Amino acid sequence: MKSLRFVLPLVLGSLFIMAFAQSNTSKSDVQRSDAQKSFDKLKTLAGSWEGVVKTDPAQAEIEGKPMQVSLRVTSMGNALMHEATGAGRPDDPITMLYLDGDHLLLTHYCDAGNRPRMVGKLSPDGKSVDFEFLDVAGSTQYGHMHHGVFTFVDANHHIEDWTFMHGDKAVHARFELQRTK
């Protein structure tokens, strides 16, 4: 009976610790925010991609031209760098995707000379991440990137939809990309 007095508190304590640990594990799974899930999904796109640009309304300088996209996980896994290069363009705009607390943010270093930021959200079906405009640093005199969507098709294909605003006129660009490495 004396041994039961010593064992019972140990058993009850162990049960309490196990219950606490399980509730903590469940909480951490739940606490793995949609932003983190989105970011992890986007990091699977790391690699080299190519495709053709389609625009609406048609933009003669890029319509139907080849596009190369590189996505690279950097900064010890804390950022995803997106570089897009089009035929005949002297350089490529850079887009950085990263977590800021429980938000997935995108900063686009635009060839229009500004830096729009967007907030990403994973679709309910997990097949796309939609980036909504948050704010912009720098002049919008020459327009700014306003919206972006990454759609996951399969391990070797994804689609990027980008909307550029020039005043109140929107230009939509779509890249249907296939993995090259």
Q: Is 49 found in the same domain as 128?
A: yes
Q: Is 41 found in the same domain as 14?
A: no
Angstrom distance (rounded) from CA 108 to CA 174? 16
The pLDDT value recorded for residue 31 is: 59
Query: Which residues are CB-contacts of 168 (< 8 A; sequence separation ≥ 6)?
Result: none
- Residues 69-95: tens digit of each pLDDT: 999 999 999 999 999 998 777 678 899
Q: Scan for tokens 């010890």, then name that residue.
A: 76
Q: Is 160 found in the same domain as 135?
A: yes
Q: How many CB atoms lie within 10 A of CB 10?
A: 9
Please give the span between the terminal C-alpha atoms of the chain, in angstroms, as a whole number: 69
Q: How confident is the model at residue 9 (pLDDT cuts 50, 70, 90)?
A: very low
Q: Is 25 found in the same domain as 40?
A: no
Please name which of 106, 169, 113 lies closest in space to residue 137, comparing C-alpha atoms. Answer: 113
- Residues 140-181: tens digit of each pLDDT: 999 999 999 999 999 999 999 999 999 999 999 999 999 998
Q: Is 67 found in the same domain as 25?
A: no
The pLDDT value recorded for residue 30 is: 52
* Coil, strand or helix at 20: helix
Q: Is 107 found in the same domain as 48?
A: yes
- Residues 40-71: tens digit of each pLDDT: 999 999 999 999 999 999 998 889 999 999 99
The predicted model scores a pTM of: 0.81
E-strand ranges in the chain read 47-56, 66-74, 79-86, 94-100, 103-109, 115-122, 128-137, 144-154, 157-166, 169-179
The pLDDT value recorded for residue 159 is: 98
Q: Is 21 found in the same domain as 110?
A: no
Q: Is 60 found in the same domain as 17?
A: no
Q: Which domain holds residue 129?
A: 34-179
Q: Is 151 found in the same domain as 103?
A: yes
What are the backbone dihedrals phi and psi of residue 123, each rounded to the nearest 5 degrees, phi first?
-65, 155
CATH code at position 45:
2.40.128.20
Q: Is 44 found in the same domain as 24?
A: no
